[in-house]
């Protein structure tokens, strides 16, 4: 049984925009899944189906093998937590601490458990010092962390992040990548995220869906997707500098292993260099 599955999911918005066309998507336990594609491809619309914010025009969404119904909606929302693109849509309490407590309190948890979860979420996101601040006065990146902490405090099994690094400074991006990469192994969580930054895909994903005009136009491992340069070009996505550089070295006769992350590239370059001296 898959944690999340969509079968031929089609969504037509009021007014007639066909945002999703027969999308088949699967998320397994402890996987890290990237959904990439140009503006308007349907990534956010797909995510909003994962916990019943939107209802399919046709097709199915199954969470732990069950369709989403009025009766199980609360359970589904506990299970699948979504962090939206714009943190302003998600934070509304007078203080950060209250904001992070909102979700777990709403789940009906007792005060001690809520307090414990809030502490853990603030700590995991490194925002303990923001606890008494007014969320609306925070910077964009700080708001993003608060929004993620609020969802995390509900301890979802699947964490869905719509463009999680948008608006973060470089250190914020590195912190987030490191944090997200710990979730599957340390907490058994599944992470699904969208991004326009393909270098992050290699750092943060095991499996990739490529979307364009509401359809899934490709899916596979990072290696499989990055090898399809025509698909990436067609969907206005660029191969990141590391594999692009290594490919051009290979094409120029330099024996060097392909790599997608900084650490793997470092190894490849050191090995290639060591071979040549």
Ligand X SMILES: Nc1ncnc2c1ncn2[C@@H]1O[C@H](COP(=O)(O)OP(=O)(O)OP(=O)(O)O)[C@@H](O)[C@H]1O
Q: Which among 148, 116, 142 has a CA at the least distance from the CA of 130?
A: 142
With respect to ligand X, which residue has the nearer C-beta, 6 or 44? 44
Q: Under the criterion CB under 6 A, does residue 201 sit at the interface with ligand X?
A: no
Given a contact cutoff of 8 angstroms between Cβ atoms, the answer to whether 35 and 194 are in contact is: yes
Out of 28, 30, 40, 264, point to the residue binding ligand X (CB under 6 A).
40
Q: Under the criterion CB under 6 A, does residue 16 sit at the interface with ligand X?
A: no
Residue with tokens 């025009």: 57
Out of 44, 51, 90, 235, point to the residue binding ligand X (CB under 6 A).
44
Scanning 40-48, 172-180, 197-205, 238-246 for contacts with ligand X by CB under 6 A, the matching segment is 40-48
Q: Under the criterion CB under 6 A, does residue 15 sit at the interface with ligand X?
A: yes
* DSSP states along 63-89: ETTEE--TTTHHHHHHHEEEE-SSGGG
Minimum Å distance from CB 68 to ligand X? 18
Q: Under the criterion CB under 6 A, does residue 243 sit at the interface with ligand X?
A: no
Out of 8, 17, 92, 132, point to the residue binding ligand X (CB under 6 A).
17
Out of 6, 31, 45, 90, point to the residue binding ligand X (CB under 6 A).
45
The secondary element (H helix, E strand) that includes residue 211 is strand 207-212
Minimum Å distance from CB 23 to ligand X? 11
Between the alpha carbon of residue 96 and those of residues 136, 143, 149, 167, the distances in Å are 9, 9, 10, 19
Touching ligand X, residues 76-135 (CB under 6 A): none
State both tokens at 270. 């050191």
Minimum Å distance from CB 2 to ligand X? 22
| C-alpha of 93 from chain center | 24
CA end-to-end span of the chain, whole Å?
Answer: 52
With respect to ligand X, which residue has the nearer C-beta, 198 or 259? 198
Q: Under the criterion CB under 6 A, does residue 42 sit at the interface with ligand X?
A: yes
Minimum Å distance from CB 54 to ligand X? 9
Out of 3, 34, 41, 200, point to the residue binding ligand X (CB under 6 A).
41
Q: Under the criterion CB under 6 A, does residue 49 sit at the interface with ligand X?
A: no
Given a contact cutoff of 8 angstroms between Cβ atoms, the answer to whether 31 and 22 are in contact is: no
State both tokens at 36. 């990439």
Minimum Å distance from CB 14 to ligand X? 6
Given a contact cutoff of 8 angstroms between Cβ atoms, the answer to whether 88 and 116 are in contact is: no
Q: Which among 159, 140, 155 has a CA at the least distance from the CA of 91?
A: 140
Out of 3, 9, 19, 121, point to the residue binding ligand X (CB under 6 A).
19
Residue with tokens 């998600």: 90
Contact residues for ligand X, defined by CB under 6 A:
13, 15, 17, 19, 37, 39-45
């Amino acid at each position: 049984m898959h944690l999340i599955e969509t079968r031929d999911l089609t969504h037509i918005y009021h007014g007639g925009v066909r945002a999703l066309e027969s999308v088949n998507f699967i998320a397994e336990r402890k996987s890290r899944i990237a959904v990439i594609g140009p503006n308007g491809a349907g990534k956010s619309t797909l995510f909003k189906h994962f916990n019943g914010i939107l209802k399919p025009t046709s097709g199915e969404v199954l969470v732990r093998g069950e369709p989403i119904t009025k009766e199980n909606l609360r359970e589904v929302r506990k299970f699948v937590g979504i962090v939206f693109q714009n943190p302003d849509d998600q934070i509304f309490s007078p203080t950060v601490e209250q904001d992070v407590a909102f979700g777990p309190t709403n789940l009906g948890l007792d005060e001690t458990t809520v307090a414990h979860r809030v502490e853990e979420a603030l700590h995991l996101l490194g925002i303990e010092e923001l606890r008494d601040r007014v969320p609306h006065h925070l910077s964009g990146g700080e708001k993003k962390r608060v929004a993620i902490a609020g969802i995390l405090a509900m301890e979802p099994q699947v964490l869905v992040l719509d463009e999680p690094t948008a608006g973060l400074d470089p250190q914020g991006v590195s912190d987030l990548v490191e944090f997200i990469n710990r979730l599957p192994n340390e907490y058994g969580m599944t992470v699904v995220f969208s991004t326009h930054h393909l270098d992050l895909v290699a750092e943060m994903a095991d499996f990739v869906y490529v979307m364009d005009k509401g359809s899934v136009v490709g899916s596979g491992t990072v290696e499989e997707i990055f090898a399809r340069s025509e698909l990436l070009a067609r969907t206005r996505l660029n191969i990141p500098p590391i594999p692009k550089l290594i490919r051009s070295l290979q094409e120029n006769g330099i024996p060097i292993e392909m790599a997608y992350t900084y650490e793997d590239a470092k190894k490849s370059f050191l090995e290639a260099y060591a071979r040549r001296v």
